């Protein structure tokens, strides 16, 4: 069974691709959901964060104070590295667990949606990495239409991701999301048949 890591720049269409794969009956592991699960109440990661950052890292109900933590690590490289040292090994472990469960269920392949796949070195977990790509101008337009973000905010998010040309260079498979939804879905369907037949390797 193939393990596919899916990534792409902001606004390129990862969520649309995930929906199509899901509609095709392919199991999806969402790294963002996994990241939230590993810091739920009672999880070792939450205890480790509280021990490192103190009580301010928790809300009154004992859950993670995400807003405070984001602000705390935003301009503090050392604290960010400490936080990532707590989170990423546990996230990787959970992704492997979920991929193994999908494998046991008999799917021909599994797709793992990881926004910062290359940036956080998750690519070693997968047989192939699929990058969803579009033009930078389309990224600006789509994100602005989606949630009202300014061009400046979109640019700042893009700057935190690896450059587009490096992402494309490191991809095993690329789907360009530059036309209609029907065209995009057709490209995914074509890749689906290759993955399902294990002919993409």
- Give the residue from 47, 29, 42, 41 showing the smallest Cα distance to 91: 29
Any known ligand binding at 149? no
Q: Kindly report the CA angle at 66 between 64 and 70, in degrees rounded to 5?
A: 135
Q: Give the neighbor-by-neighbor strand order of the sheet with 128-133.
A: 28-30, 109-113, 2-8, 128-133, 173-176
Any known ligand binding at 19? no
Contacts of 81 (CB under 8 A, 6+ apart): none
Strand residues in the chain grouped as ranges (E): 2-8, 28-30, 109-113, 128-133, 173-176
Any known ligand binding at 9? no
Any known ligand binding at 14? yes
Any known ligand binding at 3? no
Any known ligand binding at 134? no
Annotated binding site: 11-16
Question: Residues annotated in the binding site for ATP, as ranges?
Answer: 11-16
């Amino acid at each position: 069974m193939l393990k596919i890591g899916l990534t792409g720049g902001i606004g390129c269409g990862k969520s649309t691709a995930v929906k199509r794969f899901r509609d095709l009956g392919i199991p999806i592991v969402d790294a963002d959901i996994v990241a939230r699960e590993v810091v739920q109440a009672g999880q070792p990661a939450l205890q480790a964060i509280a021990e490192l950052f103190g009580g301010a890292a928790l809300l009154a109900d004992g859950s993670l104070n995400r807003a405070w933590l984001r602000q705390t690590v935003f301009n503090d490289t050392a604290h960010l590295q400490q936080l990532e040292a707590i989170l990423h090994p546990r996230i990787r472990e959970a992704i492997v667990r979920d991929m193994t469960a999908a494998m046991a269920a008999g799917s021909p392949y599994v797709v793992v949606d990881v926004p910062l796949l290359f940036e956080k070195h998750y690519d070693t977990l997968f047989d192939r990495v699929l990058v969803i790509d579009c033009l930078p101008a389309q990224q600006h337009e789509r994100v602005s239409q989606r949630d009202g973000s300014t061009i400046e905010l979109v640019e700042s998010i893009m700057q935190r991701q690896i450059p587009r040309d490096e992402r494309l260079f490191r991809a095993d498979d690329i789907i360009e999301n530059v036309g209609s939804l029907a065209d995009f879905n057709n490209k995914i369907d074509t890749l689906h048949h290759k993955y399902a037949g294990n002919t993409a390797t």
